[in-house]
Amino acid sequence: LQMCFGVSSLSESREQNQYQFYNLMCLFFYFRDRKEWADLEPVPQDDGPNPVVKIAYSEKFTDVFDMFRALLKNDEKSERAFALTAEAIELNAANYTVWHYRRVLLQALDKDLREEMKYITAIIEDQPKNYQVWHHRRMVVEWLNDPSEELQFVAEILSQDAKNYHAWQHRQWVMQEYKLWDGELEYVEELLEEDVRNNSAWNQRHFVISHTSGYSAILEREVQYTLKQIKKAPHNESAWNYLNGILQDGGLSSYPGLLEQVTELQDTCSSPYLTAFLVDLYEDALETNSSSYDQQETLNKALELCKLLAEEKDTIRREYWNYVSRSLQNTYGSGDPVSSSSDPPPPSSSQQPDTEPSDP
Amino acid sequence: SLSLLAESDDNNFILQGTQVKDVIIKPDAPNTLLLDKHADYIAAYGSKKDDYEYTLSEYLRMSGIYWGLTVMDLMGQLSRMNREEIIEFIKSCQHDCGGISASIGHDPHLLYTLSAVQILSLYDSINVIDVEKVVDYVKGLQQEDGSFAGDKWGEIDTRFSFCAVATLALLGKLDEINMDKAVEFVLSCMNFDGGFGCRPDSESHAGQIYCCTGFLSITGQLHKVNADLLGWWLCERQLPSGGLNGRPEKLPDVCYSWWVLASLKIIGRIHWIDKAKLRSFILACQDEETGGFADRPGDMVDPFHTLFGVAGLSLLGDEQIKPVNPVFCMPEDVLQRVGLQPDLLS
């Protein structure tokens, strides 16, 4: 016995109550046996002009989809057709043709869209990782022009799986379409409190800020926030990607105090990401020919870190680190030919970066 | 590195003191390529009488056929599939609007239009369908901002931008859409980490990145990609087990061996992946009894993961498999016959 879908809200119409009753019985009364469906000739599955293989279906699946095909063939737009789409969806919510048909019926029969919202809410809660169900919800929201339930609904789905890609797309669409930005940064922070490695939440943070205040005025706040999260969980790709991303335009090496703060983290919060970030920072210093950095020493430090990553801290990506090393040598080195098994770079003259202008 | 791993909770392992989400490959996992078993698996797929899964997947049947045929061709076993039946099936799936559906009685969609055109390219039988009408259908789905809807219901996704240009490229009709706007839209989906999502501001995701780099390859715009930054993000997908995930802090999945690897190949950075470790992960995803590949070791196999496992191994250079084109996920020799050589970065 299948668990039948009887969760949808009850409607007043007698026709619908009949199907509701059948659903709630938890015994399946095949459509082919129902007198109200006797006028329809079920259309069996057609796999092409010369079907070579015979496929056995479960009885219920066959029954429902044979009737569905009959309805499609006759282009029938009726209450019973509408009820059947719910049955078909329950059996296979990924079947996009059924969803299309349901939307056609919603419009042709002028169905109550509020009821449809309740229906799609239940379906998504049951099967939240499906393109069709989310697209259907979006259409209903658009038809109703009412986003008032959306943020709360998506939050509920995200509470079950905080990285559901479809849920996040829907949320972003609602926010942009209806300009619902308030409170989102707080929501993102809540999610990051729960799981600081939630890449979707970091992406959302970037989304909200980009579309509201922008980064110029609040850049320092974001840098400090990100460093704070890194201290909590140093091995966090998302946080480091975010830090890198928001500082791209300005340049890593020229951001005041950044090198010091990151270097300070090395003792307690070291990770391959921190080391990689330092390489990026040094590379930026070299690229911009920054007067705050001794170019040769910076190059040596960068090469040393690349070697550390390639040989010890991130060996699975040794090819990448060797590439970075070679690029740095070729671009900023003294011009000697380079091989990846080059001599170790000369030891650094100090542990602290040289922030004084170098002597002429 | 196995000795450095201690299980903390389900799929969260402690490696060198930090928490890592990954799988552990068991010592007895398959470590040789079982091509004959995979060919038998695909050849028999759908012919078992009680195969409920096959029934359930009718709504994507055209793509299912594309996965099966492509992997069989890559293994040199295409002749075991029923060419005539499939071609007739495709003819029955083209609608008046020109679009092609997943199966008979289903509505047309860009996804299945591409799959159908890919299959007909494999079989060198493009002209059994009305090509002009396919072009009309694809053109009609382009929006004002350059994006493409998947079908008349309007879902926008960079996957559909890829489907549109890949379809038209295979038909030799790329000039029929507004290319500048199409490119503009895809580039607007580039994120701060160098990756791409399904729409502007969507989280970077390896599947979407494959579609966007594939798109940019077909349209000759790869120079717009930040190859070092994106390549870094992509090679970061590799986990200690050797497998690849689709975005940070997710489990590895064999299909990402395709999405990530093909993207890296397109942008000229495939050597940034540890090939030996990835190969051993992919091989571990085989099922020695049934044939086929699963998403990760020990799970149930399916044709989708079987194609991407084999295609991934091809990209890694396995000589028992035909070379696969990283943009179209079709055998290179088919594309040579069609005359398509999309750009790749070096």
> Measured between CA atoms, how close is B336 to chain A, in angstroms?
31
Mean pLDDT confidence for B272-282: 97
Q: Does B277 touch chain A (CB under 8 A)?
A: yes
Gap between the Cα atoms of A304 and B182, Å rounded: 43
For residues B60 and B325, give the distance between their C-alpha atoms in angstroms, rounded to a whole number. 23
Instruction: Using alpha carbons, select from B288, B282, B267, B285 the residue that is nearest to residue B317.
Output: B282
Helices (H), chain A: 14-24, 59-74, 79-91, 96-108, 113-126, 131-144, 150-160, 165-178, 184-194, 199-211, 219-232, 237-247, 258-269, 272-287, 295-308, 318-332
Q: Does A210 touch chain B (CB under 8 A)?
A: yes
The stretch B26-42 carries a mean pLDDT of 96
DSSP state of B240: T
pLDDT at B334: 98
Contact assignment for B55 to A55 by CB distance below 8 Å: yes
Residue in chain A nearest B230 by alpha carbon: A241
Question: Hey, are the CB atoms on B51 and A198 less than 8 Å from each other?
Answer: no
CB contact under 8 A, B51 and A56: yes
What is the model's pLDDT at position B13? 66
Contact A169 B240 (CB under 8 A): no
pLDDT of A57 over the 80 cut? no
Nearest to residue B179, comparing CAs of B153, B233, B215?
B215
The position carrying tokens 């030799």 is: B172
Q: How far is A320 from B237, CA to CA, in rounded Å?
A: 13
Q: What does each C-alpha distance from A179 to A167, A189, A243, B54, B154 come to in angstroms?
A: 17, 20, 26, 43, 21
Coil vs helix vs strand at B41: helix
Whether ipTM tops 0.85, in short, is yes
Residue B56 banded pLDDT, cuts 50, 70, 90: confident
In the structure encoding, which two tokens stand for residue A148, read together? 């008032």
pLDDT at B162 over 50: yes
CA B184/CA B158 separation, integer angstroms: 12
User: 């038998």: which residue's tokens?
Assistant: B40
CA distance A209 to B227: 26
| A357 to chain B, closest Cα gap in Å | 30
Is B193 in the A-facing interface, judged by CB distances under 8 Å? yes
- Quick one: average pLDDT of B3-31? 70
Mean predicted confidence (pLDDT) in A165-182: 97
Closest CA to A171 of A130, A193, A141: A141
* Residue B18: per-residue pLDDT: 64
CA dihedral (A179, A185, A188, A194) positive or negative = negative
Q: Which helix (H) or strand (E) holds A5?
A: none
Q: In chain A, whose CA is at the least distance from the CA of B90?
A: A48
Catalytic residue among A60, A77, A118, A129: A129
Which residue carries 């050589």 as its tokens?
B341
Query: In DSSP terms, which residues pair with B148 in a beta bridge?
Result: B142
Mean pLDDT score across all residues of chain B: 93
A168/B155 CB distance under 8 A: no
Chain B residues within an 8 Å CB radius of A96: 59, 102, 106-107, 109, 151
pLDDT band at B77 (very low <50, low <70, confident <90, very high): very high
Q: What is the mean pLDDT of residues A328-347?
A: 64
- Residue A274: list chain B partners with CB under 8 A: none
Q: Do B192 and A246 touch (CB under 8 A)?
A: yes
Distance, CA of B324 to CA of B55 (rounded, Å): 29
Give the pLDDT band of residue A337 (cuts 50, 70, 90): low
pLDDT at A44: 79
Q: What's the CA gap between A258 and A353, in Å, rounded?
A: 11
CA distance B345 to B81: 35
Say whether B274 and A316 touch across the interface (CB within 8 A): yes
Contacts of B102 in chain A (CB under 8 A): 96-97
- For residues A339 and A6, the model is more confident at A339
The C-alpha atoms of residue B136 and residue B99 are separated, in whole angstroms, by: 9
Q: Is the pLDDT of residue A53 over 50?
A: no
How many contacts does A have with B, using Cβ atoms within 8 A? 151
What average pLDDT does range B105-130 have in this prediction? 97
More confident residue, A47 or A67: A67
Digit-coded pLDDT (tens) for B202-216: 999 999 999 999 999
Instruction: Give the pLDDT confidence score for residue A358 in this predicted structure.
Output: 37
What confidence tier does A2 reach under pLDDT thresholds 50, 70, 90? Answer: very low
pLDDT in tens, B125-134: 999 999 999 9
- Mean pLDDT score, B266-281: 97
**Are β-strands B12-15 and B330-331 bridged in parallel, bridged antiparallel, or unpaired?**
unpaired
C-beta atoms surrounding B249 within 10 Å: 18
Q: Confidence class of residue B14 from pLDDT cuts 50, 70 and 90?
A: low
Spatial distance between the Cα atoms of A166 and B72, rounded to a whole number of angstroms = 32
Question: Alpha-carbon torsion A261, A264, A266, A270, what sign?
Answer: negative
User: Could you report the per-residue pLDDT of B223-248, keeping only the tens digit for each?
Assistant: 999 999 999 999 999 999 999 999 99
Does the beta carbon of B346 lie under 8 angstroms from any beta carbon of chain A?
no
- Give the C-alpha separation, A282 to A253, whole Å: 7
**CB proximity under 8 Å: B 65-124 to A:** 82, 84-85, 88-89, 92, 101-107, 109
Q: What is the mean pLDDT of residues B99-105?
A: 94
* pLDDT mean across residues, chain A: 84
Whether the predicted pLDDT of B220 surpasses 80? yes
> Can you read off the two tokens belonging to residue A134?
């989310």
**pLDDT mean over B51-80:** 91
Work out the average pLDDT over B187-209. Answer: 96
Task: Check pLDDT > 50 for residue A78.
Answer: yes
pLDDT of amino acid B57? 85
Range with lowest mean pLDDT among A73-87, B26-40, B47-61, B225-239: B47-61
What is the structure's pLDDT at B3? 37
- Name B331's bridge partners: B324
Q: Which has more pLDDT, A8 or A40?
A: A40
Q: How far is CA B91 from CA A142, B43, B57, in A?
A: 35, 22, 20
What SS3 string covers A170-224?
Answer: HHHHHHHHHCCCCCHHHHHHHHHHHCCCCHHHHHHHHHHHHHCCCCCCCHHHHHH
Greater confidence, B55 or A227? A227
**Confidence (pLDDT) at B34:** 97
Query: Chain A residue with minimal CA distance to B56?
Result: A92
Name the token pair of B50.
């009680």
Query: Residues 218-237, chain B: which have Cβ within 8 Å of A?
Result: 231-233, 235-236
Beta carbons of B132 and B173 less than 8 angstroms apart: no
Greater pLDDT, A335 or A51: A335
Model confidence at A248: pLDDT above 80: yes
Of B50, B153, B203, the CB nearest to A135: B153
Which secondary structure element, helix H or strand E, spans residue B201, and what is its range?
none
Contact A262, A277 (CB under 8 A): yes
Q: What mean pLDDT do residues B76-97 have?
A: 96
d(CA A221, CA B70): 51
DSSP structure class, residue A10: P
Residue type, A288: T
A275 touches chain B (CB under 8 A): no
- Is A129 among the catalytic positions? yes
The string of pLDDT tens digits covering residues A278-334 is 999 999 999 999 899 999 999 999 999 999 999 999 999 999 999 999 999 999 987
The 3-class secondary structure across A129-159, one letter per residue, is CCHHHHHHHHHHHHHHCCCCCHHHHHHHHHH
Q: What average pLDDT does range A218-235 have in this prediction?
A: 95
Q: How far is B91 from chain A (nearest CA, A)?
A: 9
**pLDDT tens per residue across span A113-166:** 999 999 999 999 999 998 999 999 999 999 999 999 999 999 999 999 999 999
What pTM was computed for the model? 0.87
CB–CB of B235 and A69 under 8 A? no
